[in-house]
Structure 1
Amino acid sequence: MVETPIPNRRAIIDRREVAETLHALDAEGTAALRQAAVAVLREAMDAGRAQIAARLAEKPSRGTEIVESYAFLFDQLLRLLYDFTVQRLYSNSNPSAAERLSLIAVGGYGRSEMAPFSDLDIGFLTPYKQTSWCEQVIESILYTLWDLGLKVGHSSRSLDDMVRMAKSDVTIRTALLEARYVWGDEALYDEASHRFYAEVVEGTAREFTRDKLEERDTRHARMGDSRYVVEPNVKDGKGGLRDLQTLFWIGRYVYKVRDLGELVEHGLLTAEELRQFRKARNFLLAVRCHLHLISKRPEERLTFDVQPEIAGRMHYAERTGKSAVERFMQHYFLVAKQVGDLTGVFLAHLDEQYGARGRRFAMPTLRRKPRKLHGFVIDRGRLSAPRDDFFKKDPVRLIELFALADKHDLEIHPLTMRQANRDEKLAGTIRDNPRANALFLDVLSSPRDPGKVLRWMNEAGVFGRFIPDFGRVVAQMQFDMYHHYTVDEHTIRAIGLLSRIESGDLIEDHPLSHAIMQKLISRRVLYVAVLLHDIAKGRGGDHSILGAQVAEKLCPRLGLDAGETQTVAWLVRNHLLMSATAFKRDLADPKAIEDFVLAVKSPERLKLLLVLTVVDIRAVGPGVWNDWKRQLLSDLYQLAEERLRLGHKQDGRRERIAAAQDAVGQRLGWSATKLSSLFKRMPEAYWIAENDEAAARNAQQMADADAEGDKLSIVMRPDEDRGATLVTVYTADHPGLFFRLAGAVDMAGGNVIDARIYTSRDGMALDNILVQDPLGGTFQDPGQLERLETAIRDSIANKHKLKEKLEARPLPRPRADAFHIEPLVLIDNKASNHYTVVEVNALDRPALLNGLAHALFQSKAMISSAHIATYGERAVDTFYLTDLFGEKIANAAKLKAMQKRLLEAAAEPGQQEKEAA
């Protein structure tokens, strides 16, 4: 695919000059002479690489020119090496017919596409079985290349071997498809090329195309099957370079094209699509070259730690609401989308050629005879536009296309998708058309599979044109480790999840949400709210408030009445309220529930908000949703629903304590005297916070430990319902106990997600700590539990220097180093009637919770409960505190000193040193 002239080639490598230097070499023996050549070739190679890297730095977007420059450099080096080997090391003045050798480039190198650390893929061709001379030459060339530090992919085959192996192995066939003559016997290469096409390719186009498409689908599935993952694989990911290469492979195999321009001659692409193909390839190649140079290895994944540097190298600048790296990644995803569009069009042409025989690549033939549907044609099961000006005559058809595809469960013909993409601007002319808006709302709230059809609409560009606010978040990534997808992909996934919950597909995962959806008064309000919940991201303000403003304008356009519009706007404005309350507040504190209910106000809003919260979290990415989050949200829903239903008739604090103690007494079956002693021993907050089952288990543990004189009792109980392990520690209370426990959990490889800390009236500590493994699962492996118990005992006994050991541990997510989060400490004395609530936001890292708990210990603050949440690289830890007398911390000086200590503990280690300096 060589297309770009390389300027000033001799500045990269002057083959004549290097050849003269090699010719002048004088050394005793073959081995010494070869080593002398290695030094000359290494110098030329290093100088050439430095020159090409400098050119990339100067013109950072010229990917095609750069990869072809690397291929040119190695072409020259291989020619010099070949000539030196056959002329100086193993000269053969009168070769026989069998002593002929051709050096070819295959694979990526064959198509002149070499990134800085790509493998050097070469092949040696001989006419027959290798002679000893050929073996000597091949071996010497390979040893020299290895001595140069190159990773070489190589093969040595006779012409018959080449044909036989290409027939049996599609990978070898693909590599040879791109074979390019480098040096040696050119007539031998021509013969090989002729035999390859005549004996291997001829008559196998259908089989090869099928194999390549299956290979592509397998690769996509392995990479996450979305081109919108926020750490994409530039080479193998969906919408990456391999997709473009697959198109060219098929084009070359089926139509014998030698360069990209011929794809237009065969009608596979239009001239404009060819321009897009070249532009996309150029951009992706540039990104890949920068990635290799930064990583100093053949890295293909665009991880968070390299994204900002590449954005800087490629001269992306910050704009209002968007950082440079977010702008760069948005461009990347738009290119990936374009690659997907080109793939669809290309395959449609192949389908026209092969599908007429009764089967398409994508799916079986459903109908052989076209029929009409609202003017559209159904051709072999796919919805098609009957003529080229179909959308121009009536732009509403741009929306109707997708509405019909949804209603009748039809695929859309790729050529019709191409038309829709070409005419997408017309969607902007029908935004106020009532029929168009009604059709769009039908698709959005479809009882079938709205996610699938909305994704098609987005890929065609129609979605963003018709809903311009949505167009602003297309391909927009958020530079953090929490969100796995771009904003548009996250939104479409959330809508798809909502539909699956409603239909019952996910009833086992979300029984409460499914039951709620069957009772909703207005389900379309929920679908519109999910569409709009993140629509104002990237605008430089609070996306919830800005999104509510968008909803107030857009909902009437879509046909929602004033009441529905008000509800959608409220949901968008408050879509983070429920998760913030559930994950950052103590649900045993009545004030937390009271504040939440005051904000929600109605049972219908509560139902809508729960389901919206669930799909929003689940659509963030794999591994984000877990049983603990399900439990917290369900608990909050039940508590709020009860409060909304009963109002002020619910029992007060004393009644709740009495009811809890009565339930515990029934479970334990103890004598009245023993129960009375237990009830007096534990503080009132305990009976409100713990359920009767947990309190009964705690009571039995304390009783057993007291009877046996056990000074430290540890009970660990995996809880599958909450997806965590409850660790209960009972011991004599002493200052700093919790920060030692937090450090012990960290040392054992667990994560504290919730903790309730109690001191009995006789000076004993009872701490109930919920622990998960690093992947958010139940911490229950016997080895893990044994390590945890040992760590707790050692920590409380102060056997180790805990702080130093914790800070030496590696971060579970090493790429978090790419992020800087300015620590934030929020102190709220209004969030609870009995406690000072402190929220700390910081970069997640080992020993963070231990450090924060130690800072609170130094501040003489008593921790009643701790609630730990992580959002990718961001940790949000909330503490419910009192002073030493059990009262709120009200002294301004004490609060200020505590805030300072927490900020110091939350600061990143490097930042601490910087500030100290």
Structure 2
Amino acid sequence: MSNRFDALPNRRAIIDRRVLADAIAALDPKVGDPALRAAVAGLLRQALADGRAEIAKRLDEHPSRGLEAASGQAFLIDQLLRLIFDFVTHSLYPINNPTAGERIVLVAVGGYGRGEMAPFSDVDIAFLTPWKQTGWTEQVIESMLYLLWDLGLKVGHSSRSLDEMVRMAKADLTIRTALLEGRYVWGDQALYDQAAERFDREVMAGTARTFVAEKLAERDARHRKMGDSRYVVEPNVKEGKGGLRDLHTLFWIGKYVHSVRSVAELVDAGLLTREELRRFQRAENFLWAVRCHLHALSGRGEDRLTFDVQREIAVKMRYADRPGKSAVERFMQHYFLTAKQVGDVTGLFLAHLDEQHAARGRRFGLPAIMRRAPKKLEGFVLDRGRLALPSEDFFQEDPVRLIQIFALADEQGLEIHPLAMRAASRDARRIDNGVRRDRRANAFFMDVLTSPRDPETVLRWMNEASVFGRFVPDFGRVVAQMQFDMYHHYTVDEHTVRAIGLLSKIEKGALETDHPLATAIMDQIVSRRVLYVAVLLHDIAKGRAGDHSVLGAEVALKLCPRFGMTPAETETVAWLVRRHLLMSATAFKRDLSDFKTVLDFVQAVQSPERLRLLLVLTVVDIRAVGPGVWNGWKRQLLSDLYDAAEEVLRLGHKQRGRGERVVAKQAELRRLLGWTDEAFDALVRRLPESYWIAESVDVLERNAKQVAEADVPLSIAAQVYPARDATLVTVYASDHPGLFYRIAGAIHLAGASIIDARIHTTRDGMALDNFLVQDQRGGPFDGEDRLQRIVRTIEDALANRNRLNERLQARPLAKIRAEAFSIEPVVLIDNKASNRYTVIEVNARDRPALLNALAYALFQSKVTIHSAHIATYGERAVDTFYITDLIGDKIDGALRLQALETRLLDAAAGRESELEAA
């Protein structure tokens, strides 16, 4: 058998086994076993450190040689194991005349058996004996393991007889896969050959079809666990979709079915072409480089490419900044393009396997697709239920067919044969400006994009084949484009395709429970295809220098006429792309009870149709960001803004003035409470008009009951508020300066996060403050114990019993990952956004108790907070405050505004204000 490490350059610089063997032999054998073991362990420990250092140095010098680094690690472990084996069997437990049962062989299994290891990979080994272990073999195995542990290695080991090996490999897919990659390391060669022969004959023979089906099912389960997308922005290099394990799976299948010994032999087996082999090896080399850098930086066996290491690996692998795209974004785009290549190679590999082994009406390892043959195939053909090509040059004859095949697959509900997908990938470069301007091609594309069936799946196929990016070059620029933040979970292209899929589901009514308003208004939307194109283009200009919304609108003006859209449709798409963040920014960062907020929003929207389109676009954009981003609170805010804006657009804002709205709410509350006129009128006299405007009727009812039942100066209520997917915390207390920042700090100490706050003062000097809070997962802060804790913590803070500032400073930071991002705080002060208040928006890196720090800065500045609105976008927090001075006027005067900005910037950055220090 040829040595798989032959290609490894200058191996003795990594470890020289002969020199080490001589050094071990030179040790004094009379010192006794413990001292001798310790001396040997010291020599080997130094050799391990030196070998790792040499491999790391080579990787630093040639940072993209991943396979060489992985092979070097396995070679280093091989030599150490051989030295340990020889030392234990010759020096510690020598045996002159071994019996037939006193034989042992050391086998590398799993990834180590393949000859590939990252710096902190487990050392997976198997000790094989002919029959049941003897006393001697037990001593050898135990001594070897102790020495390996002394070296600090993490060892995965098994000790089995040949019969046990066969029995367990038959019963357990994981064991069978590990042994499939078994490789002789040291010991009894004849015993290894016997084990290999029995594994082939008794375990593998006749089970290929079952093994393939099980491995593909295992792969699918692994993908689901890892997020089921190769475009997750913190991917797992080893286990994630498009990662190393997917490549390993192909090799395992090839080895099981065709007994190949190396990846290159997959070509001879007919499972890869030479070009596909090159793509396989490039991907494998790149992924191994990333994994080795990841282990080295983490100092442990870490395979998740988290934000905090992405930037460092980009630097190590020598990526540089480019206009509009940072080095880390370029590195991650390369990563995702590589993951896409792995997906392409996987599909083609399985297609070749299918062709080799499929019986009539059956596909290898996969269920057959049996459908009634469609009548119109436009020259394409069916191959076992999948759309295929009649000839290899079918796309070359008419490149428009590269778009047509996807439209046909959608129309007929067919899968596309992997070999047809390979041809599409190969011929995608034939899509030139002539094809892009072709009316038929654009009609086919629009049919797919606006399909009433499953546009998400078919667009994803187009993207996998590179046809999408070729036909729409602006989309091609964002393929695998990472958004380096903690908010977006997917690359830009994956986010866009998911958003289109969500739009399709909403249109079909499949998401009515989550999105009742969006589902209801879809039937009212006249410009259906405008909406689909706007969703396609809303992030099309990400990664360019400048505002992606403005640049995206320019792209829309260019592309929409090509798609066959009218000037009116083009204008609407461009407006939607340019303003696609308007509705979420207004709903999440502004006070919707301030009527000027609604009027300013309506002034920008101008028509009911645009309002409907913008709402649905906003919903799918947020929902497609990733799991856990959408919640009931966001749904409620968007619905409230939509309803208020729709009323103004329909009736005009003077139809229901402020006074009429207050009277209507009071009448509804009077009915719900059933109080006497005297009691209810007394409540109305105590509360200012702004309170009635700001709160919804259900909150008014809760507040009224709490105030009526309060028999002490302080009343705190915490109750789950399902309609807002949050918990409502109401504090009724004597009003005094600093109340808000103390409550905010206490809520943080209790483990909750504030998402909205409304601060009211009664006419007789009591504070009535409503806080909406959630837990760290973005759900209601629930459970009786937790609700009681939040009440007690606020009570203690207001009574100054818990040394609030000291406890906040002592509390450990929870969002350490956010520190990977550099966000310079920004304070925006706006005296035009409201007729009554000064509006302050603070953008900063999110951190625990940020709101408390900002509220304390406002307290120091001697202003009154009337409402606070908290939005988080991954690592970025946007906190908005509606304030006045102490006598109820807006804040003006350049010096006072400058001092206010300075205090807030210092608080946002977590440093002591110079004004305070002074």
TM bracket, shorter-chain basis:
over 0.9
Contact 2:496 2:624 (8 Å CA) reproduced: yes
Q: Which residue of 2 aligns with 1:586?
A: 591
Q: What is aligned with 2:811?
A: 809
Q: Is the 8 A contact 1:729 1:766 kept in 2?
A: yes
List alignment gaps of at least 5 residues for structure 2.
Answer: none
Tell me which residue corresponds to 1:319.
322
Counterpart amino acid of residue 465 in structure 2? A
Would the aligned equivalents of 2:598 and 2:641 in 1 still touch at CA under 8 Å?
Answer: yes
Between the aligned partners of 2:301 and 2:529, the Cα distance in structure 1 is 48
**SS of match in other structure, 2:292:** helix
Post-superposition offset of 1:201: 1.2
Q: CA deviation at 1:428?
A: 2.9
717-726 or 801-810, which deviates more: 801-810
Deviation, 1:543, is 0.3
Please state whether the residue corresponding to 1:356 is helix, strand or coil. Answer: coil
Alignment equivalent of 2:130, drawn from 127, 130, 138: 127
Match of 1:567 in 2: 572
State the Cα deviation string for residues 146-194 of structure 1 (Å, max 9, x = none): 1111111112222222222222222111111111111111122122212
Distance 1:419 1:211 in 2: 29
The aligned amino acid for 1:204 is T
Q: Distance in 1 between matches of 2:372 and 2:530?
A: 41
Alpha-carbon distance in 1 for matches of 2:442, 2:203: 54
User: 1:661: Cα distance to partner?
Assistant: 3.0
- Asked whether 1:7 is paired with 2:9, we answer yes
Structure 1 residue aligned with 2:784? 782
* Structure 1 position 382, deviation (Å): 0.8
1:409 to 409, 413, 416: 413
Separation in 2, partners of 1:80, 1:698: 77
The yes-or-no answer on 1:74 pairing with 2:77 is yes
Partner of residue 735, structure 2: 733
**Contact 1:803–1:847 under 8 Å retained in 2:** no
Specify whether residues 53 and 455 from structure 1 end up closer, same or farther in structure 2 by C-alpha distance, changes over 3 A only. same
SS in 2 for 1:863: strand
User: Does the Cα contact within 8 Å between 1:368 and 1:380 map onto a contact in 2?
Assistant: no
CA distance in 1, matches of 2:806, 2:823: 23
- Would you say the 8 A contact 2:128–2:162 is kept in 1? yes
With 210-219 and 694-703 compared, the bigger mean Cα shift is at: 694-703
Task: Give the one of 740, 744, 747 matched to 1:745.
Answer: 747
SS of structure 1 residue aligned to 2:724: coil
> d(CA) in 2 for partners of 1:381 and 1:601?
50
**Does 1:711 pair with 2:718?**
no
Q: How far, CA to CA, are the matches of 2:535 and 2:469 in structure 1? A: 16
Distance in 2 (alpha carbons) for counterparts of 1:775 and 1:135: 50
**Is 1:329–2:337 an aligned residue pair?**
no
**Structure 1 counterpart of 2:549, from 544, 548, 565:** 544
For residues 659 and 439 of structure 1, do their structure 2 counterparts lie closer, same or farther at Cα, with a shift above 3 Å needed? same
CA offset digits 1:336-394 (Å, max 9, x no partner): 00000000000111112232253223432415989871111111111111211110011
User: Hey, what does 1:613 align to over in structure 2?
Assistant: 618
1:375 matched residue in structure 2: 379
Distance change in 2, residues 1:655/1:371 (3 Å): closer
Residues 4-61 of structure 1: per-residue CA shift (max 9 Å, x gap): 7111111111111101100001142233322221111111111111111111111111
Q: For the residues of structure 2 that align with 1:238 and 1:4, how far apart are their CA atoms?
A: 31
Q: Please give the secondary structure, in 1, of the residue aligned with 2:432.
A: helix
**Is this contact kept in 1: 2:719–2:787, CA < 8 A?**
no
Distance (Å, rounded) in 2 between the aligned partners of 1:564 and 1:489: 25
Counterpart of 2:18 in structure 1: which amino acid? Answer: R
1:426 aligns with 2:430: yes
The CA distance in 2 between the partners of 1:317 and 1:575, in whole Å, is 31
Alignment of 1:393-542 (within 5 A): 393-429=397-433, 430-542=435-547
Rounded Cα–Cα distance in structure 1 between residues aligned with 2:303 and 2:18: 35
Structure 1 residue 266 corresponds to structure 2 residue 263? no
Question: Given that residues 560 and 570 in structure 2 are in contact (C-alpha distance below 8 angstroms), is that contact kept between their aligned partners in structure 1?
Answer: yes
Q: For the residues of structure 1 that align with 2:242 and 2:715, how far apart are their CA atoms?
A: 56
The residue matched to 1:305 in structure 2 has which SS? helix
1:833 partner amino acid: N
Aligned mates of 2:662, 2:423 — CA distance in 1: 68
CA distance in 2, matches of 1:568, 1:367: 38
The residue aligned with 1:626 is 631
Instruction: Tell me which amino acid in the other structure corresponds to 1:218.
Output: A
Aligned residues: 911
Return the match for 1:826 from 828, 848, 869: 828
Query: Is it true that 1:665 corresponds to 2:667 in the alignment?
Result: no
In the TM superposition, residue 84 of structure 1 has moved relative to its aligned partner by 1.5
Q: Deviations over 1:493-529 (max 9, x none)?
A: 0000000000011111111111111111110000000
Map of 1:889 onto structure 2:
891
> Corresponding residue for 2:695?
690
Contact 1:843 1:908 in 2 (8 A): no
**SS state of the match for residue 723, structure 2?**
coil
* Structure 2 equivalent of residue 63 of structure 1: 66
Q: Is 1:849 aligned to residue 851 of structure 2? A: yes
What is the CA-CA distance between 1:666 and the residue it aligns to? Answer: 3.5
Structure 1 position 300 matched with structure 2 position 314: no
CA contact (8 A) 1:4 1:68 kept: no
Give the structure 2 partner of residue 880 of structure 1.
882
TM-score by length of structure 1 reads 0.97
- Hey, what does 1:20 align to over in structure 2? 22
CA shift for structure 1 position 912: 8.7
Q: Percent identity?
A: 68
Matched, 1:232 2:220: no
Secondary structure of the corresponding residue to residue 625 of structure 1: coil
TM-score (norm 2): 0.97
**1:246–1:693 distance in 2 versus 1, CA, 3 Å:** closer
* Structure 1 match to 2:35: 32
Q: 1:685 to 1:370 in 2, by over 3 A?
A: closer
Q: Is the 8 A contact 2:488 2:625 kept in 1?
A: yes
- Rounded to whole Å, the distance in 1 between the matches of 2:579 and 2:280 is 43
1-side partners of 2:173 and 2:212: how far apart?
10
| Distance (Å, rounded) in 2 between the aligned partners of 1:712 and 1:543 | 49
Q: Read off the aligned partner of 1:632 and give its amino acid letter.
A: L
Structure 1 letter corresponding to 2:611: L
Shift of 1:490: 0.2
CA contact (8 A) 1:370 1:378 kept: no
SS of the equivalent of 1:721 reads helix
Match of 1:208 in 2: 211
- Hey, what does 1:645 align to over in structure 2? 650
Contact 1:4 1:65 in 2 (8 A): no
SS in 2 for 1:341: helix
- Please tell me whether the aligned partners of residues 836 and 889 of structure 2 are also in contact (alpha carbons under 8 angstroms): yes
Give the conservation status (yes or no) of the 8 Å contact 2:5–2:75: no
- In the other structure, the counterpart of 1:862 is 864
Q: In structure 2, what residue type is equivalent to 1:401?
A: I
Report the AA paired with residue 43 of structure 2. V
1:597 aligns to what SS in structure 2?
A: helix
Aligned counterparts of 1:587 and 1:726: Cα–Cα separation in 2: 18
Counterpart of 1:384? Answer: 388
* Structure 1 position 41 matched with structure 2 position 31: no
* CA root-mean-square deviation: 1.7
Q: Structure 1 unaligned runs (5+)? A: none
> Structure 2 CA distance, aligned partners of 1:817 and 1:11?
39
Question: Matches of 2:676 and 2:373 in 1, distance apart?
Answer: 84
Residue 115, structure 1, aligned to residue 118, structure 2? yes
Pick closer, same or farther for the CA change 1:451–1:882 going to 2, 3 Å.
same
3-state SS of paired residue (1:780): coil
Name 2:705's counterpart in structure 1: 700
Deviation track 1:692-736 (CA, whole Å, cap 9, x = no partner) reads 33224323322332xx2x110112232111111111111110000
Matched AA of 2:606: K
